[in-house]
Structure 1
């Protein structure tokens, strides 16, 4: 749970997202607000939904700590536009008999990586940006070797993935992953979401 110290990283206009391509159920209108710190590890994180037409009041971006007023970090706003893309399940090639046969033979594993990049770039309509914000789909974690389990394994699905440099160009390479169950996401039980940050 956030304590009011985390900066606002991302505001998503739900009405601007193409609902027919998302694999998770999001509100049809209003805004999703993502609060977390890009510095590793974040103390806490939170997602809020503000309904369309809800009355809001601007507050000072500060908090009190031991009687001292501390400013919350502020990121300059940048407009991001939704682009439909394709994601692949992590280690997809381990479930396909043809790719396992290829790898068991003299197949070069780099060929599969090049194939994956080509398919994803084609679905994107050009070269995919290296840093991005992603809503839904499969996660693309950094801190993984083939035998690791992705954060969106089992009953958990990806809610959002944010590259720090998509928020602030001068930030170091940090990846924030937010996962939850489809039921919690659809019911807007965002307090049940799980957060992982990788560097």
Structure 2
């Protein structure tokens, strides 16, 4: 489980509608089932933390809580091309040297953003999916959780949906996917 303190997220940095107060909790397990759920707990909601007992069959391992810090970052689609950016098309039109400069800029951006795994959990932006990009399916990223940020593994959990589902907080309709 990952819990995000909504008030700790700087305003105006996300490209998705995200609650300004309370907590968003993401419950997911890295399995082939691609299952999980997201809930928003409004500010002042009373909650009780429960840890599984050792006597419970199939009890999940509990990990110590640790704080997450909001860091604004930059993302881009994995298959970005000059033709995807209208301003780049206009700038490079009919000029081979300008087209080369734009292509070099895109390649440099890819190299810089290849370190995005270092940011850990990501809210919004372009999904760090390498097998099945969410954007190709018409979804946008709500949250991605690299297993390494939580337990040290190599998989990544992607939670996505439409802009409307996210803006209207219809979190029960969001899709979970695991990439390994």
TM value normalised by structure 2: 0.78
**2:125 alignment partner, SS class:** coil
Among 75, 79, 83, the residue aligned to 1:87? 75
Aligned to 1:58: 49
Among 26, 41, 44, the residue aligned to 1:34? 26
Cα shift at 1:114:
3.8
Aligned equivalents of 1:155, 1:128: Cα separation in 2: 22
- Whether the 8 Å CA contact 2:71–2:119 is kept in 1: the answer is no
- Whether the 8 Å CA contact 2:7–2:20 is kept in 1: the answer is yes
Aligned to 1:137: 125
2:171 paired with 1:198: no
Aligned to 2:38: 47
Aligned equivalents of 1:82, 1:27: Cα separation in 2: 15
**2:58 alignment partner, SS class:** strand
Q: Deviations over 1:133-192 (max 9, x none)?
A: 100011111325xxxxx1133541110111111112xx3200111111111111111010
Q: Unpaired segments of 5 or more residues in structure 1?
A: 1-7, 122-126, 145-149
Among 133, 140, 146, the residue aligned to 1:163? 146
Q: Unpaired segments of 5 or more residues in structure 2?
A: none
Backbone CA RMSD of aligned residues: 3.2
- Whether the 8 Å CA contact 2:34–2:176 is kept in 1: the answer is no
Q: Deviations over 1:81-110 (max 9, x none)?
A: 101111112311263556xx98xxx9xx99
Q: Any runs of at least 4 consecutive aligned residues in structure 1 with deviations exceeding 6 A, and if so which?
A: none
Cα shift at 1:59:
2.8
Determine which structure has the larger helix proportion and give its number.
Answer: 2
Count of equivalent residues: 170
TM value normalised by structure 1: 0.72
Alignment of 1:4-15 (within 5 A): 8=1, 10-15=2-7
- Whether the 8 Å CA contact 1:131–1:163 is kept in 2: the answer is no
